[in-house]
Amino acid sequence: MSSDHFGVDDEEPPALVSTGIPLNLEDLQLSKAPITIVTGYLGAGKTTLLNYILTEQHSKKIAVILNEFGNSSDIEKSLTVQRDGQQVEEWLELANGCICCSVKDMGVAAIEKLMERRGNFDYILLETTGLADPGNIAPMFWLDEGLQSTIFLDGIVTLVDAANIIRTLEDQEAFSRDDGAGVGMTTAHLQISHADVVVINKADLVTREEIEAVKQRIAGMNGLARIIVTERGKVDNLGEWLLDLRAYENVGELKTPIRTQLDETISTVSLELPQLDEGMLDSLDAWIRSLLWETEVPSSSKKPGDQVSGDSGKRPILDIHRLKGRAITKTGKALLIQGVRETFEIFDAPDQNSAIKAEGKLVLIGRGLRDVDVKESLEWFLSRGRES
C-alpha cells in the first residue's frame, strides 16, 4: 500500500536519461490529455450529458470511452452515431470529428494504447457503468506527474436523477452493498462522495422544493463538490463547470460544509490546520495514514496501530473516501493535500502566492465521521509533533 503514497519528504526527482534532445518538461505536461470520469446511478443521464458535451464543445477533439460493453442500451447506441444496431467494437468516428470507444476492462495502459493508435486528443470523457464505484477507478488515472503517462485525471462528475436520488440513497435493502462496505452504503453514496461536481439532472421532473431538498442532502454528504442543476445535462458553461477542473491539482476554496439534511451514511468534516512546523507536518502525515490505512482515529487514550482490546469488531466503521486540504508551514510554504481512499499525497501548492494567503484546512468526506471526534484527535496528534 505504501507505494501509493507520496509523503511530505521531498523525493528525489526521477533521473532523466539523456537523449541528446532538449526536453521541456512543461511541454510534456501540457501535452497530457485530461480525463473526466462521468459517473452516476443507472439512468441518471450520463450518456445524455456526454452527447450534449460532444455537440457543444467544438474546439476540442474529444474521445469518449464507455466503460461498458455489449449490452449497451438504446441511448448508448445513439451515441455511436450511424452505426445502427451494431455493437461498438473499438473506436468509431463521431459526426463532429470526435471518437467513441467502448471498453470492458479499461485501464490506463489500454486507453493510452488506443490513443496511440488513433492520435492524440485534447480531452477524454469516460462514462462508467451506473454501478461503478469511482473510488476504484480514480486512482488508476490519478498519476504522479513524474510518470510518463499521456493522460491525467481532471475530475469526477457525478450525475444524480433529481426525481429518484433520495429514494436511491435510502433504499437500503435493494441497494446496500454486500462487499463489506456496510449497511446504508449504496453505490449512489460512493459516487456522490467522490464527486468534484454533482450534476442534479432531470430538473424538469421535480418541483423547486424537491430540488432544494436534493441539493441540501448532497451538500450535507459532500461539502466540497460544486452542485449544478440541469435538464438533459445542459450545462451552460462547460469550461467552468465540467471540463478542465484540475480537481487533483488544486484544492479549491475548501468551504466549510453546510450542515443540513444530513445523510446517515456519508458526511463531510472540515478541520482547521494551524501553521505547521516540520514535526507537526510529520504528525499530520502520520495522522492521515492512520485514518486511511488503519481506519482509525488516534486518540490520547489509544495510539495508532494499538489493538482495540477484545472488541475490535465493535470499532465504529471509518471509511474516508475523499480528502482535500491546504497546509501552511511556519516557514511560509503552502502545501496541498489530496486523497482518494487509501491513496494520498502532500505536495507544494503550484500557486504559492495565492495559496499562502488562504488558511490551513483539511476536509474529509466519508463514512463514520460523525461517530468520532476527529477534531480532538487531530489537535492532540499535532501537538505531539510540535517542535518546542
Using the rule CB under 6 A, give the single segment among 95-103, 226-234, 315-323, 355-363 that binds ligand GTP.
226-234
Grid look-up 461503478 returns 132
Q: Which does 204 bind (CB under 5 to 8 A by kind): ligand GTP, Zn ion, none?
A: ligand GTP
235 contact partners, CB below 8 Å, separation of at least 6: 49, 52, 199, 228, 241, 242
Please, which of residues 35-54 interact with ligand GTP by CB under 6 A? 40, 42-48
Looking at the Cβ atoms of 53 and 336, the one nearer to ligand GTP is 53
Q: Which amino acid is at 202?
A: K
Looking at the Cβ atoms of 43 and 252, the one nearer to ligand GTP is 43
Min dist. Cβ of residue 231 to ligand GTP (A): 4
Q: Which of 116, 204, 240, 373 binds ligand GTP (CB under 6 A)?
A: 204
Torsion from C-alpha of 342, 348, 353, 354, nearest 10 degrees: 0
Residue window 183-202: x/- pattern of binding to ligand GTP, with contact defined by CB under 6 A? ------------------xx
160 vs 227: CA distance, rounded Å: 10
Q: Does 106 bind ligand GTP (CB under 6 A)?
A: no
Looking at the Cβ atoms of 132 and 355, the one nearer to ligand GTP is 132
19 vs 16: CA distance, rounded Å: 9
Q: What CA–CA distances, in Å, run from 248 to 41, 225, 281, 344?
A: 23, 13, 21, 11
Within the chain, what is the greatest distance between any pair of CA atoms?
Answer: 71
317: exposed, middle or buried (C-beta count within 10 Å: 0-12, 13-18, 19+)? middle
Retrieve residue 99's grid coordinates. 471518437
Looking at the Cβ atoms of 44 and 53, the one nearer to ligand GTP is 44
Q: DSSP labels for 174-233? A: HH---SSS-TT--HHHHHHHT-SEEEEE-GGGS-HHHHHHHHHHHHHH-SSSEEEE-STT
Q: Which of 36, 39, 47, 102 binds Zn ion (CB under 5 A)?
A: 47
Q: Which amino acid is at 19?
A: T
223 vs 283: CA distance, rounded Å: 25
Looking at the Cβ atoms of 77 and 302, the one nearer to ligand GTP is 77
Min dist. Cβ of residue 145 to ligand GTP (A): 32
Q: Does 46 bind Zn ion (CB under 5 A)?
A: yes
Q: Does 134 bind ligand GTP (CB under 6 A)?
A: no
Q: Which does 304 bind (CB under 5 to 8 A by kind): ligand GTP, Zn ion, none?
A: none
Q: Which does 255 bind (CB under 5 to 8 A by kind): ligand GTP, Zn ion, none?
A: none
Looking at the Cβ atoms of 164 and 222, the one nearer to ligand GTP is 164
- Contact criterion met (CB below 8 Å) for 202 and 45: yes
Q: Does 102 bind ligand GTP (CB under 6 A)?
A: no
Q: Which does 131 bind (CB under 5 to 8 A by kind): ligand GTP, Zn ion, none?
A: none
Q: Which amino acid is at 327?
A: A
Which residues sit at the interface with ligand GTP, rule CB under 6 A? Answer: 40, 42-48, 73, 75, 130, 201-202, 204-205, 231-233
Which residues sit at the interface with Zn ion, rule CB under 5 A? Answer: 46-47
